[in-house]
């Protein structure tokens, strides 16, 4: 299984402000009634973007100036709540390839890395400064440099951090752990054999 090596990401940005944006908001539970992830992209932030009659509400993602944006900017504790992978799946299938936020909830972070969608942590003031630059020039692409821990727009750059292990798996194209986990099943079996509650017979 060969995965893309992800070290540079270029794309236009969109800022969805707010702290503690939970995964119910990213993908309302009623859209999880499915047996594949196909088609989830259109429901990303659905109740924030559409009213009960399906009409668009004012929302950055509905704003034509930011149409086609592939980098999402957000606040603190993004992706908190439910462990549903449907949330990062919906964002990825909507077209997002990276998220920049002040902090991320842990399960959401891991789910996103497994999809090859980096979640980089930035200072809150830098996020708002970057959002202001995007608002001035929504067509200008951002460049995320994963090894260099930086995001830049035109000639302005900001620190954007990933933990070392996440950086490494993205750069090496090993962001989906399954290949590593399958590599040594004998070691798995010998660990299991030492634990009485795991009846392996």
Partner 1 sequence: MGKTLFDKVWEAHTVRQLPNGMTQLLIGTHLIHEVTSPQAFGMLRDLKLPVLYPQRTFATVDHIVPTDEREEPFSDSLADAMIKELRRNCDEAGIKFFDMASGKQGIVHIVGPEQGITQPGTTIACGDSHTSTHGAFGAIAFGIGTSQVRDVLATQTMALQKPKVRRIEVNGNLAPGVYAKDVILHIIRKLGVNGGLGYAYEYAGSTFDRFTQEERMTVCNMSIEGGARVGYVNPDQTTFDYLRGRPYAPSQADYDSAVTRWKSFASDPDAKYDDIVKYDASDIGPTVTWGINPGQAVFIDETIPTPEELPEKDRSTAEEAYAHMKLTPGQPIKGTKVDVAFLGSCTNARISDLQEVARYLQGKKIKAGVKGIVVPGSQGVAAVAEAMGLADIFRDAGFEWRGAGCSMCLGMNPDKLVGDQLCASSSNRNFKGRQGSPTGRTVLMSPLMVAAAAVTGEISDAREVFGLS
Residues numbered 75 to 94 that lie near partner 1 (CB under 8 A) are: 76-77, 80-86, 88
Minimum distance of partner 1 from residue 108's CB (angstroms): 8
Query: Shortest Cβ distance from residue 177 to partner 1 (Å)?
Result: 4
**Does 132 interact with partner 1 (rule: CB under 8 A)?**
no
Does position 196 interact with partner 1 (CB under 8 A)? The reply is yes
Q: Shortest CA distance to 120 belongs to which of 151, 141, 95?
A: 151
Q: How many residues bind partner 1 (CB under 8 A)?
A: 63
Distances (CA, A) of 121 to 15, 124, 142, 147: 14, 9, 15, 14
Distance CA 99, CA 74 (A): 7
28 contacts partner 1 (rule: CB under 8 A): yes
Q: In this structure, are residues 9 and 162 in contact, taking their beta carbons and an 8 Å threshold?
A: no
The nearer residue to partner 1, 24 or 141, going by C-beta atoms, is: 24
Residue closer to partner 1 (CB basis): 17 or 68: 17
Any idea what the Cα angle at residue 122 is, between residues 129 and 167, rounded to 5°? 140
Task: Report residue 127 as tokens.
Answer: 């996020």
- Cβ closest to partner 1, residue 135 vs residue 176: 176
Cβ count near 93 (within 10 Å): 18
Q: How far apart are CA 148 and CA 159, in angstroms?
A: 9
- The binding site for partner 1 (CB under 8 A) comprises 1, 17-20, 22, 24-25, 28-30, 32-37, 47, 52, 76-77, 80-86, 88, 103, 105-107, 110-111, 114-115, 163-165, 168-169, 172, 174, 176-178, 180-182, 184-185, 187-188, 191-192, 194-200
């Amino acid at each position: 299984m060969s995965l893309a090596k992800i070290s540079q990401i270029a794309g236009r940005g969109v800022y969805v402000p707010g702290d503690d944006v939970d995964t119910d908001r990213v993908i309302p539970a009623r859209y999880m009634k499915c047996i594949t992830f196909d088609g989830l992209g259109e429901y990303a932030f659905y109740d924030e973007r559409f009213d009960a009659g399906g009409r668009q509400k004012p929302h950055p993602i509905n704003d034509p100036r930011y149409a086609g944006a592939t980098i999402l900017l957000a606040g603190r504790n993004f992706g908190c709540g439910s462990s549903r992978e449907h949330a990062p799946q919906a964002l990825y299938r909507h077209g997002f390839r990276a998220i920049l936020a002040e902090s991320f909830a842990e399960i959401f972070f891991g789910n996103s890395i497994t999809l090859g969608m980096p979640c980089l942590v930035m200072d809150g003031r830098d996020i708002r400064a970057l959002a202001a630059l995007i608002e001035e020039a929504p067509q200008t692409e951002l460049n995320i440099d994963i090894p260099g821990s930086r995001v830049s727009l035109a000639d302005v750059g900001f620190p954007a951090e990933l933990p070392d292990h996440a950086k490494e798996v993205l750069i090496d194209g090993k962001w989906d752990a399954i290949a590593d986990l399958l590599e040594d099943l004998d070691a798995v079996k010998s660990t299991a054999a030492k634990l009485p509650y795991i009846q392996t017979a």
